[in-house]
Structure 1
Amino acid sequence: MVSIGFMVRHGAARRYRSLQEKDTIMDESSSALECRKEKPIADEADFKTHKKGISKEEIVQAYSEWSKNGNYEAEMNLICYQGPFIAAAALAECINEVDRSSQYILDLAAGSGRLGEELAKYGFTNIDALDASDGMLKEAEKKNVYKKLICEYFDNDTDIPDDSYDVLIISGGMGEGHIPANSLKKMRKIVKKGGLVVIVMRKQYLSCVEDYENLLPMMTKMEEDKEWQTVSQKTVADYSFNNQGMVFIFRVLH
């Protein structure tokens, strides 16, 4: 019998492959308005971790509480959150199967480890996890797919040496109070020349999270400055809670 997980995973991969490169960023003013009115943009638990003005400390506490008793895994189930499937499929499209086990990957904002679990299914076996929530990392450890667990908030002060990884990948780590927009340069620095930065996020955050209003111009400026080049930029359906997602893939130039 084919499992629900298999169908969702391969459905996400098919949707990712079917989209055209360089999709246009569509106007989402209605989504932005909903966010500015501080209405829930997902279910109640998800909203608690993305509420307007949330602090680093509140985020860590909220996620650690959410991770207890497997609540996060149950509530962010296969149907309502497909980010890990989409992100893993996107990276697999970029790297030949024979080369995947040699790629040293940082799963940034790893949460409970669902992305690492999906990456392992594609043959990526050399993965570290970074997350600010100790509770989430304890759940991630149970997946047995990570070489190292790093409990730290990611920003420009994160203590990871330059040129440490072949790939940095994010699914679900972007949001109100989450990974700051100005840490794009830090992401680029800790990835080796020729490596990849993969960012998968909810599309509406580009307009309803104040810190991300300049995210696209910052990405473009880094390309103009030849810090990285765009491999692909796509809009995907059903990223989370029936909301569209964005997949950004950049190749580091120096």
Structure 2
Amino acid sequence: MNRLKLVGKLSIFMLVALMILTGCSKGDSASPGTSNTQNNPSGTKETSSQEDSVVLPVQNTDDEDTQDDSKNGDDVNTEEEPAFNIEEAEQIEGWKKIIVKDYAYVTEDWVSYSFRENSPIISYSLEFPSQWKVEYSIFTDENGEKIGELLPPVMMKEGQTLLDTWKPSDDYELISKEDIKVGELTGVKIITKSYPYGGDIDVWYPHTYYLTDGKRVFIISFYTLDIDLQKQELFDKIISTFKFLD
């Protein structure tokens, strides 16, 4: 009897021990994340690192491309877009200097001017009295009266020469036409008596100057209400400061 009791107790003890061992085994298998992390220390960090290695270089490449495109775009725009700046004069003390970058035009008759696609930029500078104001292409004097106007710069075609097809018009009276020279540039000054359309001015005298280096042409007109020698000298002085900018 005692022997049977002892066997029963041993059986119960072994059963309990087996249950304990089985429970421990299940506990280990129930935590795969911890087990995997211990076996592979990088775990999710390795995944994050892989993502960074893919994403970051792409972002950097895009940024560099964008910066390069932006720089290239700025350079292109700087070269191709017109510009208009006012600075202090260098040649005549107390005057102002206008620096212009404008598209080149073409002309067949030196009266009308046409813009063509892919026209090059012509750059130049011109000094003028500080009392004058300039807005876009129009100069006004100290009284607010229009006194000058920039005309479109011209790029002459192959075989074309300055004013080669120009002829006086019936719309005005030719007062004078003379050759001029500014440094290495040659040109022509034309003074006419004209009758403006509309407004309160019956007669005025445009003084139109043309300067060329053999290819590029600069054109400007000044206006007076009479033949004024002092103003002509002022206009000549202004023209003497002209420069094409390479």
Of the two, which has the highest radius of gyration?
Answer: 2
| Both structures adopt the same fold (TM-score exceeding 0.5) | no
Q: Normalising TM by the smaller chain, what interval?
A: under 0.3
- Relative to total residues, which structure has the larger helix share, 1 or 2? 1
